[in-house]
Amino acid sequence: MTNNFKRFLLGGFLFVVTLTILEFGVRLWGYSGHRISDPIYMPFELTGDIPYVHKPNLVNARAQGLSIINTDSQGLRSKVVGAQYGPKTKEEYRIAIVGDSGTFGEGVSKTEGTYPQILEDALNRSQSVLKAQGFNYGVSAYRVKEMAATLEHRMLEIAPDLVVMTIIDHDFVLARTPTVDVSGYLENHTSMGGLFPILSSGRPYAISTSRM
């Protein structure tokens, strides 16, 4: 066997290996959400202005960005699985926070590291007059339209004292929000989750309103 033929075989072998790796990469890039994360979404039926929400009572579910999440009885990311909320007492101060994946905490492995939870914990450490309770209404790829609809159709039942909307420039892009399939995965989702999270270059803004 000549050296030229050996080099030819080696080149062919490396070519096949390279194609295999590229094929694997393309499949992982395109379908990582279905392979790495769980179907954590469901349609919201009360209004067409909110296409999807998180499923309630999730236990250690895998979200995009390698996050492990629990949700309460309303489908909000929570430390306590299936937590329910009765009428607000005079000792409570409820803060409802709505936003996109940044508020939800995509890429934040534990709920304790999300900023709504950090805010709640910090307020309760710094004072004892009221019990602060944060409600994380953040959902990946929400626009300002879905955020406003969340205030109207989902928040009022908890009677929040303070509502915070956290937005970036991309939240004003009308074509940004995907749909949810029958299994509970997002379709036409343009942000990269899974193993390839990216940071948005948009500037964050916070808009708040309090009930006096």
Can you give the residue ranges of every domain in the chain?
1-36, 39-210
Look at residues 170, 174, 164, 109 and name the one whose alpha carbon lies nearest to residue 137. 164
The pLDDT tens digits of the residues spanning 48-70 come to 999 999 999 999 999 988 899 99
Question: Using H for helix, E for strand and C for coil, what is the string for the chain?
Answer: CCHHHHHHHHHHHHHHHHHHHHHHHHHHHHHHHHHHCCCCEEECCCCCCCCEEECCCCCCEEEHHHEEECECCCCCECCCCCCCCCCCCCCEEEEEEECCHHHHCCCCCCHHHCHHHHHHHHHHHHCCCCEEEEEECCCCCCCHHHHHHHHHHHHHHHCCCEEEEEECHHHHCCCCCCEECCCCCEECCCCCCCCCCCCCCCCCEEEEEECC
| Average per-residue pLDDT for the chain | 83
Q: Higher confidence at residue 37 or residue 12?
A: 37
What's the rounded mean pLDDT across residues 98-125? 94
With a threshold of 0.85, does the pTM exceed it? no
The pLDDT tens digits of the residues spanning 174-187 come to 777 788 999 999 88
Note every long-range contact of 197-200, with CB atoms under 8 Å and residues 24 or more positions apart, other chains counting: 197/64, 197/65, 197/106, 197/107, 200/102, 200/168, 200/170
How far is residue 63's CA from residue 36's CA, in Å, rounded to a whole number?
Answer: 8
Q: Give the pLDDT score at 204.
A: 55
The pLDDT tens digits of the residues spanning 112-164 come to 999 999 999 999 999 999 999 999 999 999 999 999 999 999 999 999 999 99
